[in-house]
A and B are shown apart, each in its own frame.
Chain A
Amino acid sequence: MEIQVPDIEKFLAGLVGPVGKPDTMAVELGAVRKMAKAVEDFDPIHYDAAAAIARGYRGVVAPWPLLWLFYFNGTEHSIDFPFGKATVHGEDEYEFHEPVIVGDEIAMQMVITDARLKQGRSGPLGIVVEERRFTNQLGALCAVLRTTLIRR
């Protein structure tokens, strides 16, 4: 029997809240270089400590796409939707604060901040917003990444 709208709404509402405990990952030079090369970012601050320090940083700077390494290697998490056929990565919003530097220990905490049903052209869509906050070993907020998933 097909799941009814009130049950979908109840399922989605139950998703909202923190997911797991913070995960911590060390920022390694090799990982930073590998990401900088993958996104074709050849700014010397991502490769050379002297160049980064000359520009006012504490050390080699991680390119912001390194957040995706943490994203994919943090809390094991998947949503077992009782409706729809596919989940699509709809959009991302980034806030940037304190730069991530080689040698930092980055803690990532994930929270589902919104989960609701929306009427799309081809039927109901589940909209889920995941927020990941990245904090360094000094307690400084480095970045916030909000990802909107669409279930259809």
Chain B
Amino acid sequence: MGTVKTVEPQSLFFEDFAEGQEFSTVTKGPMMVGHQVRWAGACDNYDSEFHHDEHVAKAQGLPGIILSGPLMASYLLTEVAHWVGRHARLLRFADRNVGSTMPRDTAYLRGRVTKTHVQDGLGVLEIECWIENQRGENTTPGRAVAAVPRRTP
């Protein structure tokens, strides 16, 4: 596995979650251009120069480099998948890019369970999630649905 130190998500079941439950905040950053460049490499996409070149960003009227919305949403999606544990399957995820993340910003990934119910014998969690920056601004509101097995079906 090379130099990657892996971490298995927790073993959790439907009974481990409750409506209103908040997940542990995950902090990313300070975000740097390197994060964006690594994302561009993983997507094999370097088309939007304003994502990695400050000169181009400012020439386009932006305050500076803006990190990719799908990159930030992917961090959030990844944490949701970890919050619900290794037995769960993510069914849906949605996000809106309502605020920018710039180099040296810190991203706080937060989430809570809004609804729990059982469907066809499987536990279902509805989740509200979002990214807040160091100024308390919600840059990326999101929501997700995950199926989680019951401990006692």
Contact = CB atoms under 8 A, between A and B. Distances in A.
Nearest to A33: B4
Interface residues of B, number: 38
A2 interface: no
A37 interface: yes
Interface stretch (A6-14, A87-95, A124-132): A87-95
B38 A38 contact: yes
Interface stretch (B13-21, B66-74, B112-120, B125-133): B66-74
Contacts of B77: 39, 64-65, 94
Interface string B79-122: 00110001001111111110000000000000000000000000
Contact of B45 (A48, A73, A95): A73
Interface string B1-45: 110111111000000000000000000100000010011011111
Contacts of B95: 91-92
B78 interface: yes
Contacts of B9: 43
Given A42-B6, A51-B6, A93 B94 contact: yes
Contacts, number: 112
Contacts of B86: 43, 55
Given A68-B70, A92-B70, A96-B89, A39 B75 contact: yes
B92 A94 contact: yes
Contact of B6 (A31, A43, A65, A92): A43
10 contacts: A38-B39, A39-B42, A39-B71, A43-B81, A48-B1, A66-B42, A68-B45, A72-B47, A88-B97, A90-B97
**Complex A-B, nearest 8 residue pairs according to Cβ-Cβ distance, in ascending order:** A72-B45, A65-B74, A38-B42, A44-B6, A91-B96, A35-B42, A93-B94, A39-B74
Interface of B: 1-2, 4-9, 28, 35, 38-39, 41-45, 47, 69-71, 73-75, 77-78, 81-82, 86, 89-97
